[in-house]
Amino acid sequence: MAAVIEAGTTAIPPVRRVPDRFRTLIAVVAATAPVILVVIVVILFQQAAPSVRHFGLSFLTGVDWNPVTDSFGALPAIFGTVATSFVALALAVPVGVAVAVVLAEQGQTTIRGILGTGIELLAAIPSVVYGIWALYVLAPWSYQHLEIPISDRFGFIGWLSQPSVRSLFTASLVLAVMILPTLSAISREVIRAVPRGLKESAVALGATWWETTWRVILPSARAGIFGATILALGRALGETIAVTMVIGNRYAIPPSIFSPAYTLASVIANEFNEATGTLYPAALIELGLVLILVTFVVNVVALLLVRSTASKASRAA
Amino acid sequence: MNRNVRRRYASAAWLGVMYVLTVLALIPLGLVLWFTVSKGLPPVLHIEFFTNSFRPFGVPGGGVAHAIVGTGILVGLASLMAIPIGILGGVYVAEYAVDPWASWVRLASDVLVGTPSIAIGLFAYAVVVVPVHHFSGIAGSFALAILMLPIVIRTTEGAVALIPNGLRESGLALGLPRWRVSLQLILPAATPGVITGALLAVARASGETAPLLFTTLGNTLFRVDPTQAIQALPLTVYQYALLPYKSLQDQAWGAALVLVAMVLGINLLSRWVLRRQIRLAGQL
């Protein structure tokens, strides 16, 4: 008896812990990603310092952009960025969710395979190609067939008047096309993550396909679809080239969505190479800093939302 | 018509609406491809388009050879920087997934994927262009590498995670050290998936314009020295498209066609490789 207790209490010879140098090594290599992220913010902050010191918080509310008098304010660019992104979301979300619903259906058919591949290829087309297409094809078309008819009929509402070929609205249209793949790919994943049991219960109760989708599947995927929307918002906020080519580049808060405007990214793209002195480039870099910080927040919120839906679904399953 | 029949019709109608919206979503793809091909094909059909460099407006025989070679150099250098680091990073995130650090790396990669590329261009300008006082291909490659890195990390992670645990366990049971299991057993089995990731990253980098604006700047001359400003295809599209000269606008469409063909080609190739990976993982 004593011997048994003795044996039980004797410590098992300690496992010789070989220091896992491989793990340390690749952990350090993998650190490149977080380190770059931090360094980007630090360096941009440092480069923007003259402007940050000179304008303080009034940089965010100023409406002037005048290199001659060294007077810089970001509000029109912030407004343009937010406005184009939200108009784009309003256009893309209904379509994107519909695509996700169709693609998330179980069972692979040829038509669904083709549609899915097509939507993913939409994401692969470089933004400059969307830009040249929007500039020569989409902008004149939307001016003729959307902006003019709408403003003729509803022009008495101020923000639907004054159509022009290059406008905030044209930029939003291109953005809507560009964020659609992000939106539908992630929404499809969260819809697929909805536990089968839920769907089967609804069908067993006699719900039709649409009733199941609209009342059961979409509500339980809501948070994830919201996350996908915010992720798409992050893409739209930072999109540069295609927007720069069609937005019209006017540094002012536009009176109408059919007027030319400007975004944070397109101001930088257009003006940075010509910026001289200290305050002008610093102000442009501060625009970049504002942009990057906003997209960071937006992205992290979106990722947390998508992840929480996915993990909730896997717990339920 | 009784209520149940109405419900069934309503359901079918909504299903139809969903399909119509999906097809609607594909119309832009069709239009972009159609216009790129129809407007880009005429200039591309001349051999000079691929053999000559920039010629001023009015001088016939201009081409984009300098931009094609430049894109090759930029993306090649960026791949040399991003792909090895990305693969090791991806192996770490997948093999030591329980490490708290791994989840930070994952989060950082996801955020980095969503970082506006113009801001990455500004960053590369500040750390590479400013210290040496001139624009260079290296600065452009550096910016592109930052864009590629998170894509390689995340796809490598996905590919490694697909490998069944049995392979890992049998390696460890044979007494192989962890690094040999990871690099000589798991990674080779995941190769097709890793190649997919690298290809997707290359496709993404080849099409990016914004990070190149302030880094490699562009060049009208044929240059292969990456310490100098060099031209790239997306820059050609962007710059020529905004010029008022018809012949250069045509070349912009031609360059766009070359770019789209390249990027979609790489994408389709990566899909094919990925399908092989999934089949392979199924056999293990």
**Whether pLDDT at A139 is above 80:** yes
Kindly list the residues from chain A whose CB atom is less than 8 angstroms away from the CB atom of residue B206.
Answer: 126
The span from the CA of A176 to the CA of A236, in Å, is 8
- Interchain contact, B234 vs A128, CB within 8 Å: yes
- The most distant pair of C-alpha atoms in chain A lies apart, rounded to whole Å, by 99
Q: What is the mean pLDDT of residues A206-235?
A: 90
Output the tens digit of pLDDT for each of chain B's 284 residues: 688 889 999 999 999 999 899 888 889 889 999 999 999 999 888 888 888 888 887 788 888 899 999 999 999 999 999 999 999 999 999 999 888 999 999 999 999 998 999 999 999 999 999 999 889 999 999 999 999 999 999 999 998 988 888 898 999 999 898 889 999 999 998 888 899 889 999 999 999 999 999 998 888 888 888 888 999 999 999 999 998 888 889 999 999 999 999 999 999 898 888 887 777 766 66
- Interchain contact, B207 vs A129, CB within 8 Å: yes
Could you tell me if residue B166 is inside a domain? yes
Handedness of CA B122, B127, B130, B136 (dihedral sign): negative
- Interchain contact, B214 vs A272, CB within 8 Å: yes
Kindly list the residues from chain A whose CB atom is less than 8 angstroms away from the CB atom of residue B239.
Answer: none
Q: How far is B60 from chain A (nearest CA, A)?
A: 23
Q: Is A62 left (phi over 0), alpha (psi -120 to 50) or beta?
A: beta
- Burial (Cβ within 10 Å: 0-12, 13-18, ≥19) of residue A90: exposed
Confidence of residue A12 (pLDDT cuts 50, 70, 90): low
User: Residue B203 belongs to what domain range?
Assistant: 50-283
Could you tell me if residue B3 is inside a domain? no
Q: Which H or E element spans position B192?
A: helix B191-207
Tokens matching residue A212: 């199941």
**Whether pLDDT at A3 is above 60:** no
| Best to test chain A binding among B17, B83, B122, B268 (most A CBs inside 10 Å) | B122
- Interchain contact, A129 vs B112, CB within 8 Å: no
The total of structural domains in chain B comes to 1
Q: How far is B90 from chain A (nearest CA, A)?
A: 7
* pLDDT at B212 (0 to 100): 94
Helical packing angle, B100-113 and B65-95, nearest 10° = 160
- Interchain contact, B22 vs A285, CB within 8 Å: no
- Interface residue A102 vs chain B (CB under 8 A): yes
Kindly list the residues from chain B whose CB atom is less than 8 angstroms away from the CB atom of residue A291.
Answer: 116, 118-119
Could you tell me if residue B189 is inside a domain? yes
Q: Is A277 left (phi over 0), alpha (psi -120 to 50) or beta?
A: left
**Whether pLDDT at A2 is above 50:** no
Could you tell me if residue B278 is inside a domain? yes
- Interchain contact, B35 vs A137, CB within 8 Å: yes
Nearest CA in chain A to B253: A132
Among A188, A191, A200, A101, smallest CA distance to B14 is for A101
- Burial (Cβ within 10 Å: 0-12, 13-18, ≥19) of residue A156: exposed
Q: Which residue has the tokens 């343009």?
A: A80
Nearest CA in chain A to B199: A124
Kindly list the residues from chain A whose CB atom is less than 8 angstroms away from the CB atom of residue B12.
Answer: 209
* pLDDT at A7 (0 to 100): 47
Nearest CA in chain A to B112: A37
Contact at 8 Å (CB) between B261 and B276?
no
With a pLDDT cut of 90, the percent of chain A lying above it is 55
- Interface residue A128 vs chain B (CB under 8 A): yes
> How much is the mean pLDDT over chain A?
87
Which of A32, A214, A237 is opposite residue B89, by nearest beta carbon?
A: A32
- CATH number, domain at B245? 1.10.3720.10
Which of B36, B88, B107 is opposite residue A303, by nearest beta carbon?
A: B107
**Whether pLDDT at A123 is above 90:** no
Extended strands (E) in chain A: 65-66, 71-72
- Residue B184 DSSP SS3: helix
Could you tell me if residue B186 is inside a domain? yes
Among A194, A197, A201, A188, smallest CA distance to A217 is for A194
The span from the CA of A13 to the CA of A22, in Å, is 25
* pLDDT at A313 (0 to 100): 63
Provide ipTM, 2 decimals: 0.91
- Interchain contact, A240 vs B214, CB within 8 Å: no
Confidence of residue A15 (pLDDT cuts 50, 70, 90): low
Q: Which residue has the tokens 């770490």?
A: B92
The span from the CA of B220 to the CA of B228, in Å, is 12
CA dist B208 to A153, A242, A279, B93, B217, Å?
A: 40, 11, 28, 27, 13
- pTM tops 0.95, yes or no: no
- Interchain contact, A292 vs B28, CB within 8 Å: no
Q: How far is B89 from chain A (nearest CA, A)?
A: 4
Cα A166 off chain centre by: 23
Could you tell me if residue B26 is inside a domain? no
Among B43, B136, B149, B28, smallest CA distance to B88 is for B149
* pLDDT at B44 (0 to 100): 85
Contact at 8 Å (CB) between B90 and B200?
no
Give the angle subtended at the CA of A34 by the CAs of A32 and A38, to the nearest 5°: 110
Domains (range + CATH), chain A? 71-274+293-316 (1.10.3720.10)
Phi, psi of B180 (to 5 degrees): -75, -35
Contact at 8 Å (CB) between B86 and A30?
no
Tens of pLDDT, residue by residue over A40-63, are: 999 999 999 999 999 988 999 989
